[in-house]
Amino acid sequence: MGVMEKMRNSTASILWILIFSFGVLWVLADVDFFAGITQGPTNLGVVNGNEITMDEYNQRVSFYTEQFNQQTGSNMTPELRATYENQAWEDLVAARLIEDKMNQMGISVTDRELIEMVTGDNPDPFIRQQFAREDGTIDRVALQAAIDAPENSEVWIMIEQQLRENRRQQKMNNFISSGLRVSSLDIKNEFIRNNSFADIRYVRFPYSEVSDDEISISEEELRRYYEANPDQFRRSESYRFRYVSWDKTPTSRDTTQTIQDVEDLRGAFADAVNDSLFLDRYQSEVRYRGGFHRISDLEEAYQRVADMEEGEVSEVFKVDGDPHVIKLIERRNDEVRFGVLSYRVVADPVGTIDRLAEQAEEFQFYASSEGFESEADRRDLEVREATATKGNPQISGLGQSQKTLRVLEDLRRNRVSDPVELDEKFIVVQMIERTPEGTRPFSEVRSQVESAVRNQKRIEMTMQRAQEVLSGNGDIDALAERAGKEVRLAEGIRKGGSSIPGAGRELRVIGSIFNKTPGEHSGAIRGENAVFVMIVDDLDIADASEMTTAQRSEIRNRLEQQKFSAFNQVFVDRLKEGASIRDNRDRMLR
Give Cβ neighbours of residue 251 (< 8 Å, ≥ 6 apart).
347, 348, 351, 352
Give the whole-angstrom CA distance, residue 160 versus residue 126.
11
**Mean pLDDT value across residues 427-452:** 92
Query: Is residue 202 left, alpha or beta, with left meaning phi > 0 and alpha meaning psi from -120 to 50?
Result: beta
What is the per-residue pLDDT for 361?
94
Quote the pLDDT of residue 73: 67
Question: How many CB atoms neighbour CB 349 within 10 A?
Answer: 10
Residue 8 has pLDDT above 50, yes or no: no
* pLDDT value at residue 537: 92
d(CA 504, CA 488): 13
pLDDT in tens, 36-78: 444 556 788 888 888 888 888 888 888 888 888 777 766 677 8
pLDDT of the residue at 4: 41
Select the more confidently predicted residue: 491 or 9: 491
Find the mean pLDDT for residues 178-197.
Answer: 88
Name the DSSP letter for residue 509.
H
Other Cβ atoms within 10 Å of 394 Cβ, number: 11
Using the predicted structure, report yes or no on whether residue 566 has a pLDDT greater than 60.
Answer: yes
pLDDT band for position 189 (50/70/90)? very high
Whole-number Å distance between alpha carbons of 531 and 525: 5
Instruction: Kindly report the backbone phi and psi dihedral angles of residue 557, in degrees, each rounded to the nearest multiple of 5, phi listed first.
Output: -60, -40
Amino acid 458: pLDDT: 94
| CA–CA separation, 390 and 432 (whole Å) | 15
pLDDT for res 548: 92
Among 46, 54, 57, CA closest to 87: 57
Give CA–CA dist 300/49, Å, rounded. Answer: 63
pTM exceeds cut of 0.75: no
> Angle, to 10 degrees, between the axis of helix 549-577 and the axis of helix 184-195?
110
| Fold of domain 197-233+443-541 | Chitinase A; domain 3 (3.10.50)
- Smallest CA-to-CA distance from 536 within 209, 194, 208, 196 is with 196
Most confident option among 231-235, 397-401, 452-456: 452-456
Q: Which residues contact 579 (CB under 8 A, 6 or more apart)?
A: 47, 48, 97, 100
Confidence of residue 25 (pLDDT cuts 50, 70, 90): very low
Could you say which architecture CATH assigns to the domain 237-249+349-436?
A: Roll (3.10)
Q: Give the pLDDT confidence score for residue 49 in this predicted structure.
A: 87
> Please, which residues have CB within 8 angstroms of residue 92's CB and are 6 or more apart in sequence?
45, 52, 56, 57, 60
pLDDT value at residue 40: 57
User: In the predicted model, what is the mean pLDDT of the chain?
Assistant: 85
Dihedral sign of CA atoms 357, 359, 362, 364 in order: negative
The stretch 317-337 carries a mean pLDDT of 90
User: Considering only CA atoms, which of 304, 318, 417 is closest in space to residue 368?
Assistant: 417
User: Per-residue pLDDT for 80 more than 60?
Assistant: yes
SS3 486: coil
What average pLDDT does this structure show over 171-177? 76
Average pLDDT over residues 118-123: 85
What would the pLDDT profile of 388-430 be if each residue is shown by its tens digit? 999 888 888 888 888 899 899 889 999 999 999 888 899 999 9
Residues in the chain: 590
> For 294-308, what is each residue's pLDDT tens digit?
888 888 888 888 889
Q: Using the predicted structure, report yes or no on whether residue 590 has a pLDDT greater than 60.
A: no
Q: What is the mean pLDDT of residues 156-174?
A: 82
Task: Please check the confidence at residue 538 and state whether its pLDDT lies above 90.
Answer: yes
pLDDT confidence band for 20 (50 / 70 / 90):
very low
- Nearest-10 crossing angle of helices 54-72, 78-105: 130
Distance between CA atoms of residues 493 and 501, nearest Å: 8
Q: How far is CA 252 from the centre of its chain?
A: 36
Question: Which pLDDT score is estimated for 281?
Answer: 86
What are residue 535's phi and psi, to 5 degrees? -125, 130
Give the pLDDT score at 39.
52
Quote the percentage of the chain above a pLDDT of 90: 34
Q: Which own/partner contact pairs does 522-526 have at CB distance under 8 Å and 24+ positions apart?
A: 523/470, 524/463, 524/466, 524/467, 524/470, 526/459, 526/463
More confident residue, 472 or 513: 513
